[in-house]
Amino acid sequence: MKTFIKWLAILAVTFFLLGAIGYKFIEYRMLPSLPFVEDTVPQAPDYKNSDFWFAHPEIQDTADLIPANADTSQDIENKSIDVFFIHSTGYVGPGGWNSNMAHENSETQSLEYMLSSMASAFNGCCDIYAPNYRQAHLTAFSNEDSTSSFAALDLAYSDVESAFEYFIDNISNGRPFMIVAHSQGTLHGLRLIANKIDKHALRERLVAAYTIGYWLPKNMFERTFSNISLCESAEQTSCIVSYDTYGEGGAMSVGLRHWYPEGWETTQVGDIACVNPLSWNTNTAKVFADQHKGAFPVEFKRTPVDMVMANNPEYIFESLPDLSPNLTWAKCDESGVLHIAEQVDNAFSNHLNNADKSYHVLDFGLFYGNLRLNAIERSNAYLRKIESQ
């Protein structure tokens, strides 16, 4: 939310040049102006319709692309595992509490970025399925109207669950799968695991869950999950990978909203789960940059003007940039925050210069090469386990 408020300030000055009046105008235009009302929500997606899938093995999409210098030597040729990818927040308005998923909206462009820098990291092991859903507005994570915020998040989750049920019943044909998600997608992904996988036979088909970029309180493994644990090694399966990335000395300073079986709660930074993506374990040792396999230099094609005007610039990636290896060390601190070397004046710099030093939008991109190789490693470990049974 801090990032969004900064965008609002930038927009007010650079786009309208109206000072405080401009800021208020943009805030009025971009933020939901009325409480959540179920009768006014956008029409639900029909996942039988391919238009509601941003990535699918039967269509050519950005999730199929591979960086030219990526290590593909270990890629699995005959893919027998699927990825169910839950995208993060791209919807910042204008409109109501949930996106109407219209193609012309600016958030559609952000989904193109998510497929390129996040989902594509898993195409070395798996077929990728990425549903569109009525994502909640960014302000649902901080708005004082918590009743509307939770209702918007519940609606978004209902689409994710509906898409997953369609995927399981009509697409997967009994194949093993991964859950891969970021930010808002991770919030919904953890709830999906709790409701549809953890206590059900489906957990035997779960290779792993990469639920990244939204901190995971350790108490969820007591209160929410009964059978699925945190990943402690590179080849462990049926487990959860979680981390949230900050520059050295940085940390989130505000609470986050989490779903528990008892209902919604706002949790504070504390005892959260952190799996180091350079070592794939949970200890607090610094892992040096020689273990870093390559970062994805993200290209953002959506401008502030596109956001205000709800405009999709319709940039489609035809190729992906080279990865940058040996970029950073990584270390989980005692509280569970993942720290990296602060990036300055390069493709991975935090251009908004947030005081908390968050690299939130780069949670996947910074560790793209490691994620790609580990997804293959876990897939092979899962297939070996199945063959031995």
Residues 6+ apart with CB under 8 A from 358: 3, 245, 246, 247, 250, 252, 350
Cβ proximity of 17 and 307 under 8 Å: no
How many angstroms from the chain centroid is the CA of residue 273?
A: 16
Helix (H, G, I), strand (E, B) or coil at 380: helix
Q: For the CA atoms of 221, 186, 336, 147, what is the dihedral angle to 10 degrees?
A: -80
* Amino acid at the residue 110: S
One-character DSSP codes across 128-148: EEEE---PBPGGGGT-S-HHH
pLDDT, one tens digit per residue, over 76-88 is: 999 999 999 999 9
pLDDT, one tens digit per residue, over 330-372 is: 999 999 999 999 999 899 987 667 788 999 999 999 999 999 9
User: Whose CA is closest to 365, among 275, 278, 294?
Assistant: 294
pLDDT tier at 8 (50, 70, 90 boundaries)? very low
Task: Provide the β-strand partners of residue 256.
Answer: 267
pTM, rounded to two decimals: 0.93
Helix, strand, coil shares of the chain, percent, nearest 5, are 35, 15, 50
Helix pair 184-192, 146-170: axis angle to 10 deg: 60
For residues 41 and 20, what is the distance between their CA atoms, to the nearest angstrom? 31
Cβ proximity of 129 and 59 under 8 Å: no
Domain-wise residue ranges, the chain: 1-30, 38-388
Residues 6+ apart with CB under 8 A from 116: 62, 63, 65, 296, 298, 299, 317, 320
Q: Which residue carries 């000055």 as its tokens?
A: 13
For residues 313 and 180, what is the distance between their CA atoms, to the nearest angstrom? 26
Q: Would you say how long the chain is, in residues?
A: 389
DSSP conformational letter for 16: I
Cβ proximity of 233 and 280 under 8 Å: yes
DSSP conformational letter for 53: E
Cβ proximity of 156 and 135 under 8 Å: yes
CA distances, 281 to each of 158, 240, 264, 381 (Å) = 32, 11, 29, 16
Looking from the CA of 114 toward its CB, the CA atoms found within 13 Å total 28
For residues 268 and 246, what is the distance between their CA atoms, to the nearest angstrom? 16
* Amino acid at the residue 242: S
What mean pLDDT comes out for the span 366-379?
98
* Amino acid at the residue 175: R
Written as six digits, the tokens of 4 are 């969004």
Task: Provide the β-strand partners of residue 55.
Answer: 130
Written as six digits, the tokens of 124 are 């070395």
Phi, psi of 257 (to 5 degrees): -90, 130
Written as six digits, the tokens of 196 are 């549809």
Q: What is the largest CA-CA distance in the chain?
A: 68
Q: What angle do CA 311, 320, 186 make, to 5 degrees?
A: 65
One-character DSSP codes across 194-220: IIIITTSGGGGGEEEEEEESS--BTTH
For residues 139 and 370, what is the distance between their CA atoms, to the nearest angstrom? 32
pLDDT, one tens digit per residue, over 210-265 is: 999 998 999 999 999 999 999 999 999 999 999 999 999 888 777 899 999 999 99
Of the chain, the percentage scoring pLDDT greater than 70 comes to 92
Residue 208 has pLDDT above 80, yes or no: yes
Written as six digits, the tokens of 71 are 């290590």
Q: In what order do the strands lie in the sheet with 338-340?
A: 245-247, 338-340, 330-332
Cβ proximity of 140 and 256 under 8 Å: no
pLDDT, one tens digit per residue, over 112-142 is: 999 999 999 999 999 999 999 999 999 999 8
Residue 111 has pLDDT above 80, yes or no: yes
pLDDT of amino acid 257: 93
